[in-house]
Amino acid sequence: MTCGTHTKLAVLSSLLASSTLLAASPKTLGFFPSSRESEARFEAIMSATPTPERERKWLRWLTEEPHTAGTGQGKKTAEYVRDRLKEFGIVAELVPYEVFLNYPKQVSLRLLKPEPIELSLEERGDIRDKDSFSGDVFPGFHGYGASGKAAAQVIYVNYGTREDFEQLDGLGLSVVGKIALVRYGKVFRGLKVREAQERGAIGVIIFSDPADDGYMKGDVYPDGPMRPETALQRGSVQFLSEGPGDPTTPGWASVQGARRADATKLAGIPRIPSLPISYGEASKILKALAGQRVPEGWQGGLPFSYHVGPGPAEVEMSVTMDYAYRTIWNVIGTISGGVEKDRWVILGNHRDAWVYGAVDPNSGTASLLETARGLGEAMKAGWVPRRTLILASWDAEEYGLVGSTEWVEDHAAELSQKAVAYINLDSSVTGHALDAGGIPSLRDLFMGAAADVADVRTGKTVLDLWTQSEQSEWAKEAPVDLEHPQREFYPNLRLIGSGSDYTAFLDNLGIPALDFSFDGPYGVYHSVFDDITWMEKFGDPEYLYHVAASRLYGLLAMRLAGADLVPLRYVPYARRLQDDLDEIRRSAIIKRRMPRTPSSPAVKPPLDPDFTTVIESLRDFVTAAGELDDALDRVDSSGMADSGRLSRLNDSVARIEREFLDPAGLPRRPWFKHTIVAPGYTVGYGAWTFPGIVHALLDRDQAMFDAEAKKVAARLHAAASAARAAAALCGAP
Amino acid sequence: MTCGTHTKLAVLSSLLASSTLLAASPKTLGFFPSSRESEARFEAIMSATPTPERERKWLRWLTEEPHTAGTGQGKKTAEYVRDRLKEFGIVAELVPYEVFLNYPKQVSLRLLKPEPIELSLEERGDIRDKDSFSGDVFPGFHGYGASGKAAAQVIYVNYGTREDFEQLDGLGLSVVGKIALVRYGKVFRGLKVREAQERGAIGVIIFSDPADDGYMKGDVYPDGPMRPETALQRGSVQFLSEGPGDPTTPGWASVQGARRADATKLAGIPRIPSLPISYGEASKILKALAGQRVPEGWQGGLPFSYHVGPGPAEVEMSVTMDYAYRTIWNVIGTISGGVEKDRWVILGNHRDAWVYGAVDPNSGTASLLETARGLGEAMKAGWVPRRTLILASWDAEEYGLVGSTEWVEDHAAELSQKAVAYINLDSSVTGHALDAGGIPSLRDLFMGAAADVADVRTGKTVLDLWTQSEQSEWAKEAPVDLEHPQREFYPNLRLIGSGSDYTAFLDNLGIPALDFSFDGPYGVYHSVFDDITWMEKFGDPEYLYHVAASRLYGLLAMRLAGADLVPLRYVPYARRLQDDLDEIRRSAIIKRRMPRTPSSPAVKPPLDPDFTTVIESLRDFVTAAGELDDALDRVDSSGMADSGRLSRLNDSVARIEREFLDPAGLPRRPWFKHTIVAPGYTVGYGAWTFPGIVHALLDRDQAMFDAEAKKVAARLHAAASAARAAAALCGAP
């Protein structure tokens, strides 16, 4: 038996296992027998449309010049995308917002001691890549970074995570009055600055270590896809885990004339200056640090032993930002639904880039355009989706998901009522490996669509390869239970945190969201080398994976918008929550069994948490999810003649996610309303499942734990009730 | 409650938990109430004897010049140690063997392509360390390495483990006709050469990567303790896991006139040439390798992206060895026992070094000498141990445990009958962290002794710190059982594989063995920089841990030799076996749940092993161990008047270990008779618990698994019977 067949059988069997009845084929999830044939026909038209030539054409145009949000070139790309959508037969318009954005007016960094050296914040293009040259490239700076000057000793704090700063405490060292030098990785860069600022640092320098995305991961550009010593990573330093979007309008939309928070006292962005640098430059500072040898795990890839400092290295940093209210441009395209016009399925990709953005994000923009062209072809052939499909091209994502967040806040009430799901595509391609994260109620839909997209390189489907890779990870990492060793692999979506435009949809409004990409070695993130030459040398020389992304995106859109019955399933969701809760419980146990160290007395002891109510409420949700999925499978295969009841059922199924919202929001971040998933408060990108509980365990705060556990239990019971109500609408078996 | 107290209480409570009765205090394990006072008095005399000044004096003398086995200086160190023992009042003699040893006559290594460069095999001393200079230092070569010439393309195979070579197969590459470049680490160096040779390589170069013991682990010598770019690691390339000792006398002693295997067709040592090199030199080869980017985990610490090759780098290696029968000199000291003169407790440390050997092994030699001086002082005060104590200073350990193995083979019958335990001390000090491995029946004795040795730096005992560190490891790594989360930490000895002189005692004869050291960052292993200046800059500047090692060694010796009742306990042994069996079962499950990869069809599927008989027989041993330990505790506290019965009981208790021997030995290595523990066949240093079973799982050989499982089960039942017989000798409760 080949491994492909083997894996596919395993997948199917576990899909089947999610129900006590024979489930509908994942391919036709939500489609009644009477709709399947026409759906297949229109899908075939869409799938046949995207071509490598067109993918390249869009990418070439979009990435000719830097197009940071708020710039003239930024607007030109918006017009270009709008015009393409119109060409494809899709109604499209520009939707502007006035948002607070910064560009660098002046930035400089000097090593003062042991010897004065000017450190470069410019990225030079490479002579072997003419696309990496332009007169309009900003030097190294941080979106939403603070203006300011600082001159002080340097102290190295590894990745600048909370754990790293705590470990620094354990060494008897502090960043008070120092400039923290931290490396990129592990957590969102803004949270590195927040940790440093909260602990008294007066400036932060963030460098790209060769161990993380440089030569230790592969050959460096232009010989390979990884980061060369001159490349630096721009990016936002917003405190993303506290809330995305324009910091002058936290929780409401930046429409013209909107009320604004005092721009001199904004929450959620740094007060101390920060700068990104390359490892070529960082090495000059790091080499000049003495003091203690770094703790385990802090050594990077530069060829000398790292030391923590502080000093003798001293640096002077100077940052003057040009902050202003600037116009950003979302593009919103609409394909109106034929039956449930007031129900929306939203697709979104951002368009703004730190420089050329051939990967991030315009590989995704090219894919989105080819998807749109495919949908346009299907429309020409007579396709009308049941629900309205919205295609969004977001602006200013790089500053903090600004375009999408402002749009969501602008249409919050309508979205709460109308939205069925949001499918995000940021960078679509850096390689061959399909990666998918999202709300697991979308798992079966995702797997069904991925089963219908070929991996041209191998002749398998992208689902086969995804499943095999997930199974390898699972095999290596999942705990082994000697009493029940035969536990089966259950492919699932990992939950998503933040770092792209699904955030406002999912975390603020409770709209199920999915995000995917084809991944490979990629070290030029947010540098000038993220250009079309990189893509054509390394990422996707033949644009085959751009095409695969367009097809997958299109299938997801057509099935979500076209299905008679909303194609969500809740057993995968319940299983994901069970697995994640087990993991949280395991990690709480591990914390408690660590011996207390000499520095421990100052630290609160880990909690001995009681998970009973959460376990019981999750059990309730598990049971209800099973009942609902069975009922939905029955409706899928038998159809439902009563269209009014079907609409009510669709609303019930789509809105179960909303039950997880709590109007008061999460501890220390009220904008985040989802009690089941959120970006980790100290992580930013990565998700925390049961975020209030995890936050309480991290802070060792018993009162917070009790409150959050109670809240989670209530929301799980509510979702279980909603699922039972939906199941009841399906009728008796 | 301070953590020290906390930890100590935990330790005591788990010691107590090992018995249903109140156990004897670990301090007095095996001593009847009537003996305890005098024992304490003599122990105090021994403990007070070792001083930093004397430790330094011995180390200074021993490490003045290189003293490789078989050289004139080697003999001088033997005479020195013998004379010191005599000075301390201990009967001592030189015990020579004639063994086959090699020195390098001519070695050279040249890069031929892309450009011809001569690569250095000399280590230069460092100008800041005059002790690193001598005219008698051998260039880089391997003990038991083959003579030969090879010129070929180079291929990089990571650590050269079996898994690495299998991964190379997976890349579609082969070492046939190539020179394999591998880095030190993970497995014994001889097994790297064996793997390469078996797969068709014509030469092997082994380099020290800076990621493993160079700058990525800390500052390099002389600024820090880690390996500088000019340092290389000498060492033996014997196929250690197949059997140690003189390869011309496999299984018998190299006494004068002994029968010899044909020196041109020796098993267990390489036929292809190999050389060790520094990373300064290796970098010139590695940089010139093209081909595929290395797989994950293969990148080392040199500042460029590693490639597998083969080529374009080509090297020419030339090795001419001067092999001859040479005389080596063990020193055997004896303190005769007063009651059970014909029962032996053996202490041993090797004395030969690749160069100066200030750490390896003469830190241990200094400690052994100070232990001996302490025992001498106790003897002067009237101490006579119950059993005979033998103090051994082994020669030619570096070539393959030759001195100890030949001595054990020379006295095999006598040792089988008389030996109670063997306590090894190789390098005693590279830092502060006590590390201990051994047969867990010695756990309680070890913990009791360690509880009586102070850690001068912290004011705690070395037991406290060991326990805390073990608990941290356990906390991080032990699987969490959500059903039984309260599983307690149970400090234990890890089982020992090979790489030092306990091997023949334990693996060939079934004598319980223990090995310990105080560890810290140490990157100059087997280089010229392992000298007294390194020790005084980094390892133990005040010789405090040399003293601690002497005290611990002395306490272990006095208690083992002096106890009325042999101080072994079998519940810790049973628990270790349970834990390890669980781990083996887990790892078999993980292997089975991995998806099969495209290259899999060529590879045999992993076994689905049935552990039932092993689990059942282990349960029998667990029960018997509990019964025996209870009975021994009772005898400890009440004493035993019948001296004949006590001697029979002592023999019964000491010989349980022998029940684990199988005369046929292990698969592919008949010299290894112990069915429960052995050095990993593909590992060398590290231990495999249930080695036959692990071997079968690795080879995916069902017939081997069945045979080995049966053998193990039989041995466990036999040991359980022996334990019950011993318990019966204790009398009724």
Tell me which chain A residue has its CA closest to the CA of residue B279. A303
Tell me which chain A residue has its CA closest to the CA of residue B582. A482
Tell me which chain B residue has its CA closest to the CA of residue A10. B595
State residue B124's pLDDT score: 85
Q: State whether B226 and A305 contact (CB < 8 Å).
A: yes
How far is C-alpha A22 from the chain's CA centre? 34
State residue B6's pLDDT score: 34
Q: What is the dihedral of CA B697, B698, B701, B703, to 10 degrees?
A: -50
State residue B600's pLDDT score: 52
Residue B2 domain-assigned (yes or no) = no
Residue B602 has pLDDT above 80, yes or no: no
- What is the number of CB-based contacts under 8 A between chain A and chain B? 106
User: In this complex, is the C-beta atom of B219 within 8 Å of any C-beta atom belonging to chain A?
Assistant: yes
Residue B717 parent element (H or E): helix B702-729
Residue B576 has pLDDT above 70, yes or no: yes
In this structure, the answer to whether residues B42 and B82 fall within a common structural domain is yes
CB-based contact B51:B370 (threshold 8 Å): yes
For range B584-601, the mean pLDDT: 82
Q: Is B159 helix (H, G, I), strand (E, B) or coil?
A: coil
List, for residues A688-699, the tens digit of each pLDDT value.
999 999 999 999
Domain boundary among A537, A562, A587: A562
CB-based contact B382:B320 (threshold 8 Å): no
Determine which one of A397, A398, A409, A659 is catalytic: A397
Residue A6 has pLDDT above 50, yes or no: no
Residue A490 has pLDDT above 80, yes or no: yes
Facing residue for B305 by CB, picked from A219, A585, A595? A219
| Cα A430 from Cα A312, distance rounded (Å) | 40
A687: which strand partners?
A: A679
Q: Is B677 helix (H, G, I), strand (E, B) or coil?
A: strand
Residue B23 has pLDDT above 50, yes or no: no
| DSSP label at residue B478 | S
Q: Is B397 a catalytic residue?
A: yes
Residue A172 domain-assigned (yes or no) = yes
In this structure, the answer to whether residues A638 and A679 fall within a common structural domain is yes
Report residue B272: phi and psi, to 5°: -105, 150
Residue B27 has pLDDT above 90, yes or no: no
Q: Name the band, by pLDDT with cuts 50, 70 and 90, for residue A569.
A: very high
B282 CA to chain A: closest CA distance, Å? 15
**Which residues in A lie closer than 8 A to residue B218 (C-beta atoms)?**
293, 305
State residue A16's pLDDT score: 34
| Cα A490 from Cα A186, distance rounded (Å) | 27
State residue A595's pLDDT score: 85
List, for residues A90-134, the tens digit of each pLDDT value.
999 999 999 999 999 999 999 999 999 999 999 988 888 888 888
- The alpha carbons of chain A give a radius of gyration, in whole angstroms, of 25
DSSP state string for A162-179: HHHHHHHHHTT---TTSE
Residue B391 parent element (H or E): strand B387-394
Query: Which amino acid is it at B151?
Result: A
CB-based contact A277:A703 (threshold 8 Å): no
DSSP state string for B486-517: TPPP---PBP--SSSTHHIIIIIH---EEEEE
Residue A190 has pLDDT above 50, yes or no: yes
User: In this complex, is the C-beta atom of B475 within 8 Å of any C-beta atom belonging to chain A?
Assistant: yes
In this structure, the answer to whether residues B342 and B469 fall within a common structural domain is yes
CB-based contact B12:B27 (threshold 8 Å): no
List, for residues A533-559, the tens digit of each pLDDT value.
999 999 999 999 999 999 999 999 999
In this structure, the answer to whether residues B346 and B458 fall within a common structural domain is yes
- For B157, the token pair is 């195979």
- In which region does residue B731 sit, left (phi positive, over 0), alpha (psi from -120 to 50) or beta (all else)? left
Query: Which amino acid is it at A550?
Result: S
How many folded domains does chain A comprise?
Answer: 3
Burial class (CB in 10 A: 0-12, 13-18, 19+), A479: middle
Provide the pairing of β-strand B235-236 with B142-143.
Answer: parallel
| DSSP label at residue A447 | H
Closest by CA to B591, choosing from B495, B700, B507, B489, is B700
State residue A603's pLDDT score: 76
Placement of tokens 């145009």 in the chain:
A61
Closest by CA to B424, choosing from B511, B356, B334, is B511
Mutate to test the interface with B, among A221, A482, A608, A612 (most CBs of B within 10 A): A482
Q: State whether B219 and A293 contact (CB < 8 Å).
A: yes
**Which residues in A lie closer than 8 A to residue B589 (C-beta atoms)?**
480, 482, 485
Contacts of A113 (CB under 8 A, 6+ apart): A288, A311, A312, A313, A314
In this structure, the answer to whether residues A346 and A284 fall within a common structural domain is no
In this structure, the answer to whether residues A417 and A281 fall within a common structural domain is no
Residue A579 domain-assigned (yes or no) = yes
What stretches of B146-248 show up as alpha helix (H) in DSSP? 162-170, 189-198, 210-213
Long-range contacts of B416-419 (CB under 8 A, 24+ apart): B416/B509, B416/B510, B416/B658, B417/B342, B418/B342, B418/B343, B418/B344, B419/B343, B419/B344, B419/B345, B419/B346, B419/B505, B419/B509, B419/B511, B419/B654
List, for residues B446-499, the tens digit of each pLDDT value.
999 999 999 989 999 999 999 999 999 999 999 998 888 777 899 999 999 999
Residue B7 domain-assigned (yes or no) = no
In this structure, the answer to whether residues A201 and A342 fall within a common structural domain is no
| Domain, as residue range, for A132 | 102-242+268-325
Closest by CA to A441, choosing from A498, A379, A510, is A510
In this structure, the answer to whether residues A123 and A41 fall within a common structural domain is no
| Cα B184 from Cα B287, distance rounded (Å) | 18
How far is C-alpha B456 from the chain's CA centre? 26
Contacts of B198 (CB under 8 A, 6+ apart): none
In this structure, the answer to whether residues B257 and B294 fall within a common structural domain is yes
**Which residues in A lie closer than 8 A to residue B226 (C-beta atoms)?**
305
CB-based contact B404:B253 (threshold 8 Å): no
In this structure, the answer to whether residues A61 and A113 fall within a common structural domain is no
| Cα B155 from Cα B307, distance rounded (Å) | 9
State residue A485's pLDDT score: 75
The CATH number assigned to the domain holding A9 equals: 3.40.630.10
When the pLDDT of each residue in chain B is averaged and rounded to a whole number, the result is 94
Q: Name the band, by pLDDT with cuts 50, 70 and 90, for residue A22.
A: very low
The CATH number assigned to the domain holding A213 equals: 3.50.30.30
Q: State whether B471 and A595 contact (CB < 8 Å).
A: yes
In this structure, the answer to whether residues A116 and A11 fall within a common structural domain is no
| Cα B658 from Cα B439, distance rounded (Å) | 12
CB-based contact A412:A509 (threshold 8 Å): yes
Residue B655 domain-assigned (yes or no) = yes
| Cα B101 from Cα B69, distance rounded (Å) | 8
What stretches of A502-609 show up as alpha helix (H) in DSSP? 502-503, 509, 532-534, 544-562, 571-593
Tell me which chain B residue has its CA closest to the CA of residue A279. B303
Long-range contacts of A449-454 (CB under 8 A, 24+ apart): A449/A552, A449/A555, A449/A556, A449/A559, A450/A552, A451/A26, A451/A27, A452/A27, A452/A43, A452/A47, A452/A551, A452/A555, A453/A47, A453/A548, A453/A551, A453/A552, A453/A555, A454/A548
**Which residues in B lie closer than 8 A to residue A479 (C-beta atoms)?**
479-480
Distances in Å between the Cα of B92 and the Cα atoms of A37, B49, B255, B344 are 95, 20, 19, 16
Residue B526 domain-assigned (yes or no) = no
State residue A3's pLDDT score: 28
**Which residues in A lie closer than 8 A to residue B305 (C-beta atoms)?**
215-220, 224, 226
- In which region does residue B268 sit, left (phi positive, over 0), alpha (psi from -120 to 50) or beta (all else)? left
Q: State whether B7 and A215 contact (CB < 8 Å).
A: no
Provide the pairing of β-strand A142-143 with A117-119.
Answer: unpaired
In this structure, the answer to whether residues B698 and B601 fall within a common structural domain is yes
Angle subtended at Cα A226 by Cα A225 and Cα A228, rounded to the nearest 5 degrees: 120
Determine which one of B43, B65, B281, B397 is catalytic: B397
Domain boundary among B325, B358, B383: B325
| DSSP label at residue A440 | G
Residue A239 has pLDDT above 50, yes or no: yes
Placement of tokens 């409401």 in the chain:
A252
Burial class (CB in 10 A: 0-12, 13-18, 19+), B46: buried
User: In this complex, is the C-beta atom of A468 within 8 Å of any C-beta atom belonging to chain B?
Assistant: yes
Domain boundary among B306, B325, B344: B325
Q: Is A99 helix (H, G, I), strand (E, B) or coil?
A: strand
State residue B596's pLDDT score: 76
Secondary structure tally for chain A: helices H, strands E? 23, 16
Q: Name the band, by pLDDT with cuts 50, 70 and 90, for residue A647.
A: very high
| Cα B678 from Cα B684, distance rounded (Å) | 9
Q: State whether B6 and A595 contact (CB < 8 Å).
A: yes
**Which residues in B lie closer than 8 A to residue A302 (C-beta atoms)?**
303
Report residue A334: phi and psi, to 5°: -135, 130
Helix-helix angle B462-477:B443-450, to 10 degrees? 130
CB-based contact B59:B531 (threshold 8 Å): no
| Cα B470 from Cα B434, distance rounded (Å) | 10
State residue A712's pLDDT score: 98
Question: SS in 3 state form for B611-658?
Answer: CHHHHHHHHHHHHHHHHHHHHHHHHHHHCCCCHHHHHHHHHHHHCHHH
For range B168-196, the mean pLDDT: 97
User: In this complex, is the C-beta atom of B218 within 8 Å of any C-beta atom belonging to chain A?
Assistant: yes
Report residue B484: phi and psi, to 5°: -130, 65
Contacts of A503 (CB under 8 A, 6+ apart): A244, A401, A404, A405, A679
Residue A279 parent element (H or E): helix A279-286
Residue A248 domain-assigned (yes or no) = no
Residue B144 domain-assigned (yes or no) = yes
Tell me which chain A residue has its CA closest to the CA of residue B479. A479
CB-based contact A659:A509 (threshold 8 Å): no
The CATH number assigned to the domain holding B628 equals: 1.20.930.40
Report the percentage of chain B scoring pLDDT > 70: 95
